[in-house]
Structure 1
Amino acid sequence: MNGNTPYAGLPGETGAGQRAAADVPDLSSAQKRVLNRDVSRIAARTREFLPSEYVVDAEVSRGISGPEVTVAVRPPIGHAVSAGFTPELEDAPEEVITADERDEVARGLAASAALQVKQAVSDNVTPTGK
């Protein structure tokens, strides 16, 4: 049965469970620069929404289906939150992640990180009014 699946691998070339190199898209140097710039913009936009106590980091890595982007926020208390996605690569190297997508990811991460802090301290804070 394994010989019928794309995950069986090619004898001597691709191991079982691995993708063939031809199946994974390669980025041009221009696409890499643009993708790294766009990811840095997401991280910078996220930092704008949060106080300096929050640590924001971004990473571009090579995943099984091509480049993967991860932006993570570590709040001063509570659990870290992250957003990971695989961007759609196009021939035009001007912009890989649109401004609207960058803003949406940054807002979502900032809100999630703030919620983590709120949930972590909610038991220790006495409400001031009702």
Structure 2
Amino acid sequence: MNGNTPYGGLPGETAAGQRAAADVPNLSTTQKRSLHRDVSRIAAQTREFLPDEYVVDADVSSGMSGPQVTVAVRPPVGHAVSAGFTPDFEEGTEELITDTERDEVARGLAASAALQVKQAVKGSVQPTGK
């Protein structure tokens, strides 16, 4: 069964459960800067949708399949929400995360964080009108 999976390893080259070096994309310095810039843009756009009480942070880390992007929001009450994904790395593509993807992630995170607050204060706040 291990022979059917890319995680089975290659005898003498790659241990079982590890990715082969050829499978993990190597980013150029320009792509790394672009990725960090795009992630910062997602965090900034998410901050624009939310009041100052919400804490927004972003991170780029290395995962088994290459760089991993995580943007998280900590609302004033309720649970934190996050979005994590692996950008699509195609040869010759300057933009690693498109405007549409950035907008979608920022809006989704803001909406999820607002919902967390709404669920946390459910029933404890008296409505001002109907």
TM-score (norm 1): 0.90
The answer to whether the 8 Å contact 1:31/1:93 transfers is no
Distance 1:4 1:81, change over 3 A: closer
Corresponding position of 2:66: 66
Distance 1:27 1:120, change over 3 A: same
Corresponding position of 1:12: 12
Deviation by residue 1:104-125 (Cα, 9 ceiling, x = unmatched):
1111101110110010001211
SS of aligned partner of 1:59: strand
Distance of 2:95 and 2:77 partners within structure 1? 35
SS of aligned partner of 2:72: strand
The 5-angstrom pairing of residues 70-109 of structure 1 reads 70-92=70-92, 94-109=94-109
**Which sits farther off after the overlay, 59-68 or 5-14?**
5-14
The answer to whether the 8 Å contact 1:72/1:83 transfers is yes
Distance of 2:83 and 2:15 partners within structure 1? 30
Equivalenced residues, count:
130
Distance of 2:69 and 2:5 partners within structure 1? 28
Gaps of 5+ in 2: none
SS of aligned partner of 1:15: coil
Distance of 1:129 and 1:4 partners within structure 2? 62
Q: Do structure 1's residue 23 and structure 2's residue 36 form an aligned pair?
A: no
Q: Name the % identity.
A: 80
Q: Do structure 1's residue 48 and structure 2's residue 52 form an aligned pair?
A: no
The answer to whether the 8 Å contact 1:42/1:106 transfers is yes
Gaps of 5+ in 1: none
Deviation at 1:89, TM superposition (A): 1.5
SS of aligned partner of 1:67: strand
Structure 1 moving runs of 4+ over 6 Å: none
What amino acid is aligned across from residue 53 of structure 2 in structure 1?
E
The answer to whether the 8 Å contact 1:67/1:87 transfers is yes
